[in-house]
């Protein structure tokens, strides 16, 4: 089976966070599962201060990837040359897998695949979640009204990464054929080094990450325990200034460190020694940073809006709390006092549910289902 993944941003442009890693991990796991994958993406970066990637086709970690020039508009991902290539080559593939529901690559790929008679799968990456729909809501509502007769309705499958993601979509979309396959996380068997006193929040500095709850909770934690908050990730839309204001107001500046954007190697190093990872998000479609931490034996404290929170609670890999300052602070202190048991449970969860040798075959089975229910039309049809 040959599958084309289409997305707006891809490695090494990791500034966008979880979705970038998710698409790459799927493609690599699927290759191992016997699916020949290719990727169409753009030269865009997640940081307007970084130069675009070089256009062209190259091998990226064993996957053939073509980078098409993106229009010089931040996060537009408009790439006319991609649409041309899609029209020319889409019938070479048995199936198209689109990502980034609201962006040009996903819209163009789904439309061209439909017109050329090639079945396609859509992964929303949380973009149908109520919190996400409230952001730039008029544009998205207009798109949804149109898409009920287009992108989503015509998809062979809508792919969700967690049951909570599927259950949160608007009721009128829940009848669409769908499948739940989690993101791919590489297990780690490396022994944990000496634990630092670091409490890490990893990802873009964005309002949805829940800093309005985390900062006052950290003030309460620091009154009881010797710890440091490490905020690891790039600024999004200037929100770091607001986080810095909250930190100053709480009087905890001496115990907070910003790292800025960090690459995969630096993420791994940071997680290898921290005491815990905290994610009090308003919405977290899957929680790539959370799962990466669990893979390294790091206990986690997450809000009940992180979509893999049920897995975390069921396996004892961490604590799940409402978005409440007192409960978050109490959970952090509790984990700091006994991190080892939860850390090992997290490793087991990743090995049993999110590892490439589990997710790759599951996604291949989903593709087989899509191909059976929406077969590729012949050129004459």
7: domain CATH number is 3.40.50.2000
- In this structure, the answer to whether residues 105 and 28 fall within a common structural domain is yes
- In this structure, the answer to whether residues 127 and 270 fall within a common structural domain is no
Rounded to an integer, what distance in angstroms lies between the CA atom of residue 308 and that of residue 165? 9
Helix (H, G, I), strand (E, B) or coil at 228: strand
Rounded to an integer, what distance in angstroms lies between the CA atom of residue 258 and that of residue 289? 16
Q: Is the pLDDT of residue 218 over 80?
A: yes
Q: Is residue 381 part of a domain?
A: no
What is the rounded average pLDDT of the residues 337-366? 94
Q: Is residue 214 part of a domain?
A: yes
Helix (H, G, I), strand (E, B) or coil at 289: helix
- pLDDT tens digits, residue range 318-328? 999 999 999 99
Q: Report the DSSP beta bridge partners of residue 157.
A: 121
- In this structure, the answer to whether residues 271 and 206 fall within a common structural domain is yes
Strand-strand pairing, 63-68 and 300-303: unpaired
Q: Report the DSSP beta bridge partners of residue 260.
A: 232
Residue 313, domain extent: 198-354
Q: Is residue 192 part of a domain?
A: no
- In this structure, the answer to whether residues 263 and 363 fall within a common structural domain is no
- In this structure, the answer to whether residues 171 and 204 fall within a common structural domain is no
- In this structure, the answer to whether residues 363 and 329 fall within a common structural domain is no
Rounded to an integer, what distance in angstroms lies between the CA atom of residue 343 and that of residue 335? 10
Going by pLDDT thresholds of 50, 70 and 90, the confidence category of residue 142 is low
The structural domain count of the chain equals 2
- In this structure, the answer to whether residues 312 and 363 fall within a common structural domain is no
What is the rounded average pLDDT of the residues 348-355? 98
Q: Is the pLDDT of residue 92 over 90?
A: yes
Mean pLDDT over all residues of the chain?
91
- In this structure, the answer to whether residues 213 and 122 fall within a common structural domain is no
- pLDDT tens digits, residue range 164-176? 999 998 888 888 9
Q: Is residue 297 part of a domain?
A: yes
Residue 129: the pLDDT is 81
- In this structure, the answer to whether residues 175 and 212 fall within a common structural domain is no
- In this structure, the answer to whether residues 28 and 79 fall within a common structural domain is yes
Q: Is residue 380 part of a domain?
A: no
Omega before 275 within 30 of 0, i.e. cis? no
Going by pLDDT thresholds of 50, 70 and 90, the confidence category of residue 146 is low
Q: Is the pLDDT of residue 136 over 70?
A: no
Q: Is residue 379 part of a domain?
A: no
Residue 140: the pLDDT is 52
What is the rounded average pLDDT of the residues 12-39? 93
Q: Is the pLDDT of residue 6 over 70?
A: yes
Q: Is the pLDDT of residue 341 over 80?
A: yes
Is the separation of the CB atoms in 231 and 243 below 8 Å? yes
- In this structure, the answer to whether residues 176 and 203 fall within a common structural domain is no
Q: Is residue 191 part of a domain?
A: no
Is the separation of the CB atoms in 290 and 279 below 8 Å? yes
Structure tokens at 295: 């893979």
The H or E element containing residue 159 is: strand 157-160
- pLDDT tens digits, residue range 155-213? 999 999 999 999 998 888 888 999 999 999 999 887 776 788 999 999 999 999 999 99
- In this structure, the answer to whether residues 10 and 74 fall within a common structural domain is yes
Q: Is residue 189 part of a domain?
A: no
Residue 182: the pLDDT is 98
Rounded to an integer, what distance in angstroms lies between the CA atom of residue 206 and that of residue 318? 23
Residue 381: the pLDDT is 56
């Amino acid at each position: 089976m040959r599958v084309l993944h289409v997305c707006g941003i891809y490695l090494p442009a990791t500034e966008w966070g979880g979705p970038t890693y998710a698409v790459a991990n799927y493609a690599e796991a699927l290759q191992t599962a016997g699916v020949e994958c290719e990727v169409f993406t753009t030269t865009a970066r997640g940081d307007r201060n970084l130069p675009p990637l070089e256009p062209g086709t190259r091998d990226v970690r064993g996957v053939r990837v073509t980078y098409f020039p993106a229009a010089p508009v931040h996060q537009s991902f408009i790439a006319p040359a991609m649409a041309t290539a899609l029209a020319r080559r889409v019938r070479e593939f048995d199936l198209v897998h689109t990502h980034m529901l609201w962006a040009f690559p996903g819209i163009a790929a789904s439309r061209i695949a439909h017109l050329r008679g090639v079945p396609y799968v859509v992964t929303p990456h949380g973009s149908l979640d109520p919190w996400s729909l409230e952001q730039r809501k008029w544009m998205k509502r207009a798109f949804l009204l149109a898409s009920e007769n287009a992108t989503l309705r015509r998809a062979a499958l809508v792919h969700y990464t967690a049951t909570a993601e599927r259950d949160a979509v608007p009721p009128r979309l829940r009848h669409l054929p769908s499948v739940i396959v989690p993101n791919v996380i590489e297990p780690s068997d490396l022994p944990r080094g000496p634990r630092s006193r670091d409490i890490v929040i990893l990802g873009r500095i964005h309002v949805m990450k829940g800093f309005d709850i985390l900062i006052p909770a950290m003030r309460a934690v620091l009154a009881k325990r010797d710890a440091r908050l490490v905020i690891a990730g790039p600024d999004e839309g200037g929100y770091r200034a607001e986080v810095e204001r909250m930190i100053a107001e709480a009087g905890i500046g001496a115990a907070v460190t910003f790292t800025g954007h960090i690459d995969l190697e630096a993420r791994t190093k940071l997680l290898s020694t921290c005491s815990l990872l905290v994610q009090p998000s308003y919405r977290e479609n899957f929680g790539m940073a959370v799962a990466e931490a669990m893979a390294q034996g790091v206990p986690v404290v997450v809000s009940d809006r992180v979509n893999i929170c049920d897995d975390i609670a069921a396996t004892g890999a961490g604590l799940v709390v409402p978005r409440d300052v007192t409960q978050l602070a109490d959970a952090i202190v509790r984990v700091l006092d006994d991190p080892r048991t939860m850390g090992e449970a997290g490793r087991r969860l990743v090995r049993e549910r999110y590892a490439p040798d589990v997710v790759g075959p599951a996604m291949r089975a989903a593709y087989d289902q899509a191909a059976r229910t929406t077969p590729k039309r012949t050129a004459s049809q």
